[in-house]
Amino acid sequence: MAAAKVFDAILAAKSAGRKLYWVLLDPDDFSPEKGAEIAAQSQAAGADGVLVGGSLLYASQVETFVASVKKAVTIPVILFPGDATQVAPSADAILFLSLVSGRNPDFLIGEHVKGAPLIREYQIEPVSTAYMLVECGITTSVEFMSGTRPLPRTKPMIAAMHALAAQYMGMKLVYLEGGSGASEPVPNEMITAVRKVVDIPIICGGGIRDAETAIEKVKAGADIIVTGNLLRKADGLEVMKSIAKALNTFQQ
Ligand code: 1GP
């Protein structure tokens, strides 16, 4: 199996108390050339990693996109796949997502069986991740495409017990996902409830649009913050810089 470089770096950051910032690029939104340009800008703005993927993905050439991004950055390029068709050989790692908030077997194990031989062949580092979709004000693409219901946002203990079960199953990361374009990010109380019961790193994304919100999420217990949509905003790069700076200098 591929060396656990990306996961080891996440663990090293966590034990040093350093928070990470990842930027999500959806190949449906940008050409491979534009994706590379944005990835380079994101790295210059202070991002620690680039996620590539989407829950719909009609762009046919995921590998072309990933290879182009990979050439433009030195930070890790990590797949964030909506399904098994998004396994691309040039990536450094893949979040091997199990949608544990839902009860759709395709997204708990089905797509994984299809993707696993490709991951092995391409020698991509798999990082098993408990992916938890949280109700956040809109019907997100993940909710619709996976045919699963998000966790209720006012029930932090339900989220905590899903995360705990996932940790007991051996998953290495928890991803609390509001969904791209969420009108409300994942609630702080929910992140704190999850943090209380699991030791594994917590990723939080969806609807985070400024440094203040990013800091609230890490204070609540998140280790890695993800933003996507900001890239498409006129002042997005400036906001991303302020998020990266706030996270880099954050002290608990
Ligand atoms: C990554 O889905 C998020 O977890 C990205 O969400 O596009 O709302 O930043 P935004």
Task: Give the tens place of pLDDT for each residue, 73-105.
Answer: 999 999 999 999 999 999 999 999 999 999 999
Q: What is the DSSP string of the chain?
A: ----HHHHHHHHHHHTT--EEEEEE-TTTS-HHHHHHHHHHHHHHT-SEEEE--SS---S-HHHHHHHHHHH-SS-EEE--SSGGG--TT-SEEEEEEETTS--HIIIIIHHHHHHHHHHHHTPEEEEEEEEEB--SS--HHHHHHT-PPBPTT-HHHHHHHHHHHHHTT--EEEEE--TT-SSPPPHHHHHHHHHH--S-EEEESS--SHHHHHHHHHHT-SEEEE-GGGGSTTHHHHHHHHHHHHHT---
pLDDT of 251: 86
Characterise 214 by phi-psi region: left (phi > 0), alpha (psi -120 to 50), beta (else). alpha
Best mutation site among 180, 202, 217 for ligand 1 pocket (most ligand atoms within 8 Å of CB): 180
Best mutation site among 55, 80, 136, 208 for ligand 1 pocket (most ligand atoms within 8 Å of CB): 208
Distance CA 54, CA 94 (A): 13
As given in the structure block, the two tokens for residue 1 are 């199996």
CATH architecture assigned to 5-248: Alpha-Beta Barrel (3.20)
Q: Ligand 1 centre and the CA of 117: distance in Å?
A: 28
Q: Tell me the average pLDDT across 103-129.
A: 97
As given in the structure block, the two tokens for residue 164 are 């705990």
Best mutation site among 52, 55, 227 for ligand 1 pocket (most ligand atoms within 8 Å of CB): 227
Say what percent of the chain tops pLDDT 70. Answer: 98
Q: Mean pLDDT, the chain, as a whole number?
A: 95
Characterise 57 by phi-psi region: left (phi > 0), alpha (psi -120 to 50), beta (else). left
Question: Ligand 1 pocket by C-beta < 6 Å: which residues?
Answer: 24, 177, 179-182, 205-208, 226-230
Distance CA 208, CA 250 (A): 17
Model-level pTM?
0.97
Distance CA 172, CA 170 (A): 6
pLDDT digits (tens, 9 = 90+) for 23-50: 999 998 999 999 999 999 999 999 999 9
Closest C-alpha residue for ligand 1 atom 2: 180
Distance CA 158, CA 250 (A): 29
pLDDT of 59: 65
Asked whether the beta carbons of 126 and 96 are under 8 A apart, the reply is yes
Residue ranges of domains in the chain:
5-248
pLDDT digits (tens, 9 = 90+) for 53-63: 987 766 668 99
